[in-house]
Amino acid sequence: MTKKFIAIALLASAALQVSAAERSETQIRQAAAAALAKMPSAMHKVRSAQPLRILAKNTQLTVVGYENGGFAIVANDDQFKPVFGYSETQFTTNNNPGFDWYMTTLNASLERAKQQGRKLEEAKPSPEYAASVGELLTTRWGQDTPYNNMTPLYTDKKTGEKKHYVAGCVSTAMSMILHYFKYPVHGEGNIIYDFAPGSGEPSQTLEADFSNTTYQWDKMLNEYKDGSYTEEQANAVATIMKHCGYAVRMQYTISGSGAFIYESCRALREYFGFNKNIKCYNRSYFNVEEWMNIVYRELNDKCPVLYGGQSNTTGGHCFILDGYNEDGEVHVNWGWNGDQNGYFDIAGLNGFSDGQQMVEMRTATDTRYQGSVRSLICMSGKLDMTYDEKTITASLDGYLINTDIDPFSGYIQLRAINLNTGKAYLLKKGQRLDGQDTSKGFYMDDITGSVAALPAGEYRVFLAAKDDDETTWQPIRSHEVDHNSYTLVINEDREIESLELDSDSSWTGIESVVTSGNTTPAVRGVYSLDGRYLGNDVSKLGKGLYIVNGEKVVK
C-alpha cells in the first residue's frame, strides 16, 4: 500500500510539472482585464478605454495595468491560479517597502512551489463568516509630513537643516487602526526611553505622557495633501503618530525608523487600553488554513489586522489587512499614502522564511472577543519518540521557544488524545519554567510517560504546554513544514502496538480540545475525529461523526 501511494504521488507531481506552461502575453492580459473589471463600474469604464500595458515583470509574476491607474498581478505560469492581486491605484516604483516585500516574497513562494511541482494552497472564508468584508479603513496616511511633525530631529549633513525622522511603518499602521476605532480618548501611563540613531547623531531620551493626552480623532483627516490642512489637523495626526512610535520604542534613523511588531501588541495593551488578551502570532507555526481563519475571523468582526513581514534583503515591513473579497483575497492598506492599496493573496506567501506576524486589534470594550490561549510555546527542531511496552520517551533535537509576548510560567507535558473520542490523557508532567521571556529559546529535558491508563485505541501523542493561569493545555507547535506529533496504537492488552510519526502537521487546530485534567475534554467548537477544527456550526457541515463542544455527535 505504501509503495502504491508513493508511486501515485510521484506520478501526480510529474504530471503537474509536465502540464505546467508559461502563460502567453494574451492570456496574461486577459486575466488582468478580468480582475480589473472588479473595479467600480464608472472607474473601470473610463480606464478600460485605454490599452492594458505590461508595467513590470519578474521570474514568476507580471504586473499589467492602465497608465492612469489600476493594475493586476498575474502569475506567469499556469501551474498557479491567474491573478494574485489587483489595485485601483496607479502602479509606481516609488519604493513602497511593504508592497515591494509582498512582490518579492510572492515571487519567491511561486518559485519554490514550481521547483517542488506543487500548487500554492488557496484560502476562502469559512461559511460562518460574511462572504466578503469591504475595505474598513478610510485613511491614506504615510510616514513623512505632517505625520512625522513630532518625531525626533536630526541634522541633514548636506544642508545643515534640522529635519524630523520618518514616523516608521509600525507607528503608521497602529495610528490608522486607532483612528478607525476612534479609540482611546486618552492613553494610559507614560514612557521614557533612550535611543541611539547612529550616523553621528547624538543619543536622545524620548518621553510620552499618554494619560494626560487627549487624542483629537475628529480633527484628523483621511488624507493630508499639501496646503489642504490646518496646523490643528496636522498636530492631531502627528500626536498619535509620535505616541504610537514611542510606545513601541521606535528606533528612529535617517535611513528609516523601525520597531518590532510584537512590541505593538504589548503597547496596545499597556498604553492604549486594548484587550489584555490580544496576541501577536507568528506565521511560521501555523498552517495556511489556521492562519487565514484568524485573518477572516478578525475582519468578519470588522477588526483590522496589524500585519508584518520581514526579509533578509529589505528588513521588516508593517501594514494593515482591512477587508476581503469573495475569492478570499485580502484588502491591504500599505500605509504609503494609499499607493498600491488593493486586494492581494496573502495565503500564497511562504510562511517559513519570510517572518510574517499579525496582531489582533480588539479594544477592551469588544464583548465579542473571548481572548486567546495564553501558551504559545513552539518547537524548532526534530521531535523524536521511542517506546517500550508501557512507556513513551519524547526528545527534541533542537529547542523550544516562547513566541508569546507574555512570559511563560508553567509546565511542559507529554499528552495523548484519543482520535475516536477526543478524550485527553496526561502521560507525564515534564519540566517547569518560571518567567520564560518572549522569543527566548530553551532546551527540553527528555520526557518519559506511561501509557498504562490508556484503553485500547488510536491516539495522537504530542508535547503540550500549560501556563499557571490557563485552564486548558495547548499543543506545542512546530514549523509548518515539520511534524509535532506521533500516532499511537494501544492493543487490547494495553500495550503499545505501534508508534509512528504523524503525517498530518495541520492538526493543531485542536488546541481547545486539550485539557488540564486526565480524561475530561473541554472542547469549544466543532472538530473532526482526527482533531481538525471545523468551525462553530455543525449544521453547516455534511453528514458524519463530529466532536461538538466535547461530545461525539452523529449528523
Question: What H or E segment, with its residue span, contains residue 81?
Answer: none
Residue written as grid cell 510517560: 449
As a whole number of Å, the CA-based R_g of the chain is 25
What are the CA-CA distances from residue 338 to residues 227, 333, 350, 487 (Å)? Answer: 18, 7, 25, 50
Q: Looking at 317, 331, 378, 479, which residue is catalytic? A: 317
Residue 205: all three cell numbers together: 531620551
Neighbours of 336 (CB within 10 A): 24
Q: Looking at 169, 265, 280, 318, which residue is catalytic? A: 169
Nearest to 245 by CA among 286, 181, 195: 195
Residue 412: all three cell numbers together: 511542559
Using DSSP, state whether 30 is helix, strand or coil.
helix
Phi, psi (rounded to 5 degrees) for 496: -75, 120
Task: Give the distance from CA 387 to its chain's centroid.
Answer: 37
Q: What is the DSSP letter of 512?
A: G
317 is catalytic: yes
Number of H-type helices and E-type strands within the chain: 8, 28
Residue written as grid cell 482611546: 184
Query: How far is the C-alpha of 359 from the C-alpha of 303, rounded, in Å?
Result: 11
Nearest to 402 by CA among 425, 383, 379: 379
Residue 352 · residue 116 · CB < 8 Å: no
Query: How far is the C-alpha of 499 from the C-alpha of 493, rounded, in Å?
Result: 16
Query: How far is the C-alpha of 332 from the C-alpha of 375, rounded, in Å?
Result: 29
Neighbours of 58 (CB within 10 A): 14
Single-letter residue type at 211: S
Single-letter residue type at 26: T
The catalytic site residues sit at 169, 317
